Amino acid sequence: MAASAGTHTPVESYATGRAARELELKRGEFELAVQLGCVRTVAGEESGRRRVTRTELDRLRAADGFPGTLRERVRMVGTAQGAELLGVSTGRFTRLARAGLLVPVKWYLNRYRAVVWLYLADDVGQFADANAALLTGQAPETMRSRLAAGEDLRARNWRARRCGFLLKTAGDSWERAAVAASMLDTIQVAELVPDPYERAELRRLQPDPFGTPSRPDSAAAQATARILYADAPDEIRWLRAVLGLELDAARQERAAPRPMGDRTVRVAASGTAVVTDGVPGTHDEAGGRVAALCPDGGADPAPRPRPADRGGRVAGPASVEGVDRVAGQCSGGGGEDRAVGRRPAAEVGPVTEPRLPAAADSMDRPRPLRAPDGQVAKAARSANTPAPRSLLRRFRRRPRPALDRCVRRAVT
């Protein structure tokens, strides 16, 4: 029987691992094919992760020369192989890449913690056809001067290529804002996003870290940070602008999730502090939820009563009146205390100052092992008298060096 018009027919799709096996590609080759647009993906209905439909797999498998043609489109070469394709030396190829004429698509750290850049073989071939004059002879003066100043655009070009792909595949404004935030350091993100719940949402939606080492203080982590985070002033300004625009649009779509009943102070665009809450309410100028339970504009509610102990007494003064009562008892106001039925200050014992601890050096220095005073007196009667057996039995189970030190102290 035909399905009704309102019935949703699920589309047959596969996870990325299964799709890579169907297309006879390695995991890295499949990710690069998706990034280049060779393989079209759709968002999963339940998990939201990218999946590949059965129709797309059939289209790619039915193409001429499969899987050789698809593998050739995602084939990557290093510096040595790229120099062979261009017919130049590895030094000239590196200078062309540093000048920004060749854009890498991937990188990794070798065992010597050196960055290895990979390029598309198709891009290298197209560059050779369009820029034959740069493959021979002397390079232009502007290019040589920039390289002599230490310019290296490989990391920036890789970030630009990756950022464009991630912005294109992002689902909403929150994900696009997370892409821009992932390429800025934490200090700049905290400056642009003062709300901790919004920063937590951006961290949750950030793309998977690309080769991030486990130890943040290692040499590999420092080399990775120089590639992942923007360092040029114009690049930082562009990412900050993208983060600000996308974050404003994201706040209009939905607010960042926060625990129910949690109160936090948010600074509005006008500079005033607004108390926000985790319950539905109106939006302030900065895009946060103003608590619907605070009609007075976010004033602090009355303090909660402190819990009582087992005897029914309150754990501490719960108001200013309780503090005044304690102060009156210590100051000696007996008449007023008896008028309200409190214990006069005369009946309270004298206030003594607390004993200060011993000096820091004596506290930090470990105490030596010493025998009781009676045994020390018996052992110190004569310098030639051996240590008593009771003292030896007392330290029998201790290590031998500790026993020797104790006996030596006892007889001297």
Q: Can you give the CATH number for the domain in which 110 is found?
A: 1.10.1660
Q: Could you tell me if residue 321 is inside a domain? A: no
Secondary element (H or E) of residue 331:
helix 320-331
Give the pLDDT score at 159.
95
**Amino acid at residue number 391:** L
Q: How many CB atoms lie within 10 A of CB 21?
A: 13
Domain membership flag for residue 6:
no
Inside any domain, residue 106: yes
Look at residue 385 in the predicted model and tell me its pLDDT. 54
Are 233 and 176 contained in the same domain? yes
Bridge partners (DSSP) listed for residue 282: 290
* Same domain as 68, residue 80: no
d(CA 316, CA 165): 59
> Which two structure tokens, joined as six digits, stand for 24?
């006879």
Q: From edge to edge, which strands make up the β-sheet containing 42-43? A: 13-14, 50-53, 42-43
pLDDT of res. 412: 62
Q: From CA 385, how far away is CA 378, in angstroms rounded?
A: 9
pLDDT at 336: 45
Which residues are CB-contacts of 210 (< 8 A; sequence separation ≥ 6)? 162, 228
d(CA 100, CA 157): 7
Q: Are residues 216 and 186 in the same domain?
A: yes
pLDDT of the chain along its 412 residues, tens only?
Answer: 444 444 555 678 899 999 999 999 999 899 999 988 899 988 877 766 789 999 999 999 999 999 999 999 999 999 999 999 999 999 999 999 999 999 999 999 999 889 999 999 999 999 999 999 999 999 999 999 999 999 999 999 999 999 999 998 888 999 999 999 999 999 999 999 999 999 999 999 988 765 556 577 788 888 888 999 999 999 999 999 999 999 999 999 999 998 875 454 443 444 444 444 443 333 443 344 433 334 444 444 444 454 544 444 444 444 444 444 444 444 444 444 444 444 444 444 444 444 544 444 444 444 544 545 555 445 445 445 555 566 556 555 555 666 667 667 766 6
230 shares a domain with 181 = yes
* Same domain as 203, residue 117: no
Q: Kindly state whether residue 164 falls inside one of the protein's structural domains.
A: yes
Q: Taking each helix axis from N to C terminus, what angle separates 90-98 and 79-86, rounded to the nearest 10 degrees?
A: 100
Q: Is 3 inside a domain boundary?
A: no
Q: Is residue 203 part of a domain?
A: yes
Task: Please check whether residues 249 and 166 belong to one and the same domain.
Answer: yes
Total number of domains constituting the chain: 5
Same domain for 241 and 161?
yes
pLDDT value at residue 134: 93
- Helix, coil or strand: residue 51: strand
Indicate whether 88 belongs to any domain.
Answer: yes
User: Are residues 200 and 171 part of one domain?
Assistant: yes
Same domain, 229 and 278: no
What pLDDT does 24 receive? 93
Claim to verify: residue 127 and residue 203 sit in the same structural domain: no
> pTM for this one?
0.61
What's residue 178's pLDDT?
95
Same domain, 54 and 107: no
Q: Name the DSSP class of 39.
A: S
Structure confidence at residue 175 (pLDDT): 93
Same structural domain, 26 and 84:
no
Report how far Cα 396 is from the mean position of its chain's Cα atoms: 54
Q: Angle 180-279-244 (CA atoms, 0-180°, nearest 5)?
A: 20
The answer to whether position 338 is within a domain reads: no
Domain's final residue, options 42, 73, 104: 73
Of 18, 67, 66, residue with least CA distance to 41: 18
Domain that holds residue 237: 157-253
The answer to whether residues 211 and 224 touch, using CB atoms and an 8 Å cutoff, is yes
